[in-house]
Amino acid sequence: MASIYQTPNYSVTDYAKFALAGAIGCGVTHGSMTPIDVIKTRIQLEPTVYNTGMVGSLKKIVANEGAGALLTGLGPTVLGYSMQGAFKFGGYELFKKTFIDAVGYQTAVQYKDAIYIGSAAIAEFFADIALCPLEATRIRLVSQPTFANGLVGGFARILREEGPGSFYNGFTPILFKQIPYNIAKFLTYERASAAIYGFIPTPKEKLSSTAVTGINLGAGVIAGCAAAIVSQPADTLLSKVNKTKKAPGQSTLGLLAQLAGELGVRGSFAGLPTRLIMVGTLTSLQFALYGSIKGALNCPPAVELGAGGH
């Protein structure tokens, strides 16, 4: 019952554990999805060339460049999304607890969606500051296979030829993509997991770890698909921004407006089926891994605003 529920108190070590669990979960899942992400990015950047769907595009890439091309950008993907995952999950727990303490538990329960949305948005903002340079490097490596041999070479060449500011050319579209994505991800996950736990007659604390992992996977699939649809136009735009150099004197917003006009509504959703598979899968795995790793690290339970939680 909410009236007797005691919110846990977290130490700095606890938040560090949340961040580590998030880093491992996101780094492993995004790294494992690198081949799918390569295909998705190619479809977004060159839809007239890669116009035969996911399987056809896979065959074309392997035939033209070899199977190794499917691992292009693996280094920046693992490092970038590990850093982002630390801020995303650790930050979400931090801001969620901060908001609950600020307004009081009963008020937080009443306005739980606002707590979820605000926590996810602020956590993602800081996560994107860490992610952006590595995501820019990844997209450049995928879109221009001969650009560099890997993370260090690609990062160094962009820094040398275009300056440090070029790493953040895509920061605005990353925010437009990732903040709605993260809001949809955590809000939908919290609601979906609460609904599933509410449907199951067995109390959560009496469920086996396998059952809890299964619920995390199921709620994660639902959250991932919702997040993918919400953020797809900005994801396509981000791929274009990192491939396109700005005209002299052109602002990032000006470039965004130009590219959005060229893409149109239909073009903005290029690669959506592939991304639904990728994001639905990796989001479900992220929440499952996050929960399991927190258990292995002996983390305290997350603050729950009613049933559910992670």
**Statement: residue 39 has pLDDT above 80:** yes
**Statement: residue 36 has pLDDT above 80:** yes
Mean pLDDT of all residues belonging to the chain: 88
The secondary element (H helix, E strand) that includes residue 73 is none
Q: What backbone torsions phi and psi does residue 65 show, to the nearest 5 degrees? A: -125, -10
Helices 74-103, 34-45: crossing angle, 10 deg rounding? 100
Tokens of 40: 């998705």
Coarse DSSP helix, strand, coil percentages of the chain, rounded to the nearest 5 percent: 80, 0, 20
Place of tokens 């996560």: 127
Under a CB-based contact definition with an 8 Å cutoff, are residues 136 and 174 in contact?
Answer: no
3-state secondary structure (DSSP) of residue 291? helix
Give residue 76's pLDDT. 87
The count of C-alpha atoms lying within 13 angstroms of the C-alpha of 26, restricted to the half-sphere facing its C-beta, is 23
Largest CA distance in the chain: 63
3-state secondary structure (DSSP) of residue 310? coil
Instruction: For the chain, give the percent of residues with pLDDT over 70.
Output: 95
Under a CB-based contact definition with an 8 Å cutoff, are residues 305 and 74 in contact?
Answer: no
pTM given for the model: 0.79
Place of tokens 């879109």: 143
Q: Could you write out the DSSP letters of every residue in 161-230?
A: HH-GGGGGTTHHHHHHHHHHHHHHHHHHHHHHHHHHHHHSSS-GGGS-HHHHHHHHHHHHHHHHHHHHHH
Place of tokens 């693996």: 74
Gap between the Cα atoms of 294 and 300, Å rounded: 8
189-193's contacts with Cβ under 8 Å and 24+ in sequence apart are 189/219, 189/220, 189/222, 189/223, 189/283, 189/287, 189/310, 190/112, 190/116, 190/305, 190/308, 190/309, 190/310, 191/308, 192/218, 192/219, 192/222, 192/223, 192/308, 193/219, 193/307, 193/308, 193/309, 193/310
Gap between the Cα atoms of 183 and 181, Å rounded: 6
**pLDDT (tens digit per residue) in 192-209:** 999 999 999 988 888 898
**Contact residues for 156 (Cβ-Cβ < 8 A; gap 6+):** 148
Domains and CATH numbers, the chain: 2-296 (1.50.40.10)
- In eight-state DSSP terms, residue 69 is G
The secondary element (H helix, E strand) that includes residue 266 is helix 252-268
Under a CB-based contact definition with an 8 Å cutoff, are residues 21 and 88 in contact?
Answer: no
**pLDDT (tens digit per residue) in 141-167:** 888 888 988 888 999 999 999 999 989
Helices 252-268, 209-243: crossing angle, 10 deg rounding? 120
**Statement: residue 308 has pLDDT above 90:** no
**pLDDT (tens digit per residue) in 57-91:** 999 999 999 999 999 888 888 998 999 999 999 99
